[in-house]
Chains A and B, each alone.
Chain A
Amino acid sequence: MLTLEACGPYGSPGNLILTWDSSIVNIYMAPSGGTALTQFVTPFHGFNGTNLYVEGISPGTTTLSWTYSAQTNCTDNIQVSIPSVDFEETAPNNGFDDTVDPPWLVVPVNNPPNQNTVKVNIEPSAAAAQVYFTIDDPAKATVSPAQASSSPQTLTLTGVAKGHTALRARVGSSSGPICKTLNVCVRDKKVVIVDFHFMQDNASNQTSRSTSEADGFVSTLNTIWTPQANVVFQKGSVDSPTVPTNLGSVVEWYPTNPANEWDDIVAFRNGSAPDVFFVWEYEQDGTPATDNADAAQLGGDILFEDNAGSEVGETLAHEMGHFLAVSPADYTDRQDQLMHAYTDVRGQKITHAQVDQANP
Chain B
Amino acid sequence: MKHSYFLVFCLFCCSGLFAQAEETSTVTEQIGRNAALLKSHDMNTRRRAIDEMFSMSSKVSEMARDPSVAVGLSDYAQKWDENSYKAVLLLGRMGAEQSRPMLKSILAESRGIVGPMDDRYVLAPRMQMACLKALLRLKDDEAEKEVLSLLGSNEAESRVKGIECISYADDKKLIPHLVPLLDDKRDAVNVAPSGANYFIRVCDLAVNAIASISQTKTSFIVQNGARYSDDQLGEVRRNALQIR
Binding site for B on A (CB under 8 A): 110, 162-164, 166, 183, 188-191, 253, 255, 258-259, 262, 272, 284-285, 293, 296-298, 303, 319, 322, 329-330, 341, 352-353, 356-357, 359-360
CB <8 Å contact, B195 and A255: no
Please tell me which stretch of B25-33, B117-125, B138-146, B152-160 contacts chain A, meaning at least 4 of its Cβ atoms lie within 8 angstroms of it.
B117-125
Contact residues in A for B195 (Cβ distance below 8 Å):
284, 293, 296, 330, 341
Query: Total interface residues on B, using CB and 8 Å?
Result: 25
With a 10 A CB-CB cut-off, give which of A183, A284, A341 has the most chain B CB atoms.
A284
Please tell me which stretch of B98-106, B171-179, B186-194, B231-239 contacts chain A, meaning at least 4 of its Cβ atoms lie within 8 angstroms of it.
B186-194
Q: Which 9 A-B pairs have the closest CB atoms?
A: A296-B193, A258-B225, A298-B193, A322-B194, A284-B196, A297-B194, A191-B44, A163-B119, A188-B43
* B43 interface neighbour in A190, A258, A356, Cβ under 8 Å: A190
Chain B residues numbered 191-243 whose CB sits less than 8 Å from any CB in chain A: 191-198, 223, 225-226
Chain B residues numbered 52-74 whose CB sits less than 8 Å from any CB in chain A: none
Contact residues in B for A188 (Cβ distance below 8 Å):
43
Bound CA span A319–B194, Å: 8
CB <8 Å contact, B121 and A356: yes
How many residue pairs between the two chains, A and B, have CB atoms under 8 Å in the bound complex? 69
CB <8 Å contact, A284 and B193: yes
Contact residues in B for A190 (Cβ distance below 8 Å):
43-44, 47, 82
| 8 further A-B pairs in the complex, CB-CB below 8 A; given A258-B192, A330-B194 | A164-B117, A258-B191, A262-B193, A272-B48, A293-B196, A296-B196, A297-B194, A360-B122
User: At the interface, yes or no: B116 with Cβ under 8 Å from chain A?
Assistant: yes
Please name the residue on chain A nearest to B47 by beta carbon.
A190
Q: How far is the CB of A297 from chain B (nearest CB, A)?
A: 5
Contact residues in A for B191 (Cβ distance below 8 Å):
258
* B194 interface neighbour in A189, A285, A329, A359, Cβ under 8 Å: A329
CB <8 Å contact, B196 and A253: yes
Bound CA span A298–B198, Å: 12
CB <8 Å contact, A285 and B193: no
Contact residues in A for B47 (Cβ distance below 8 Å):
190
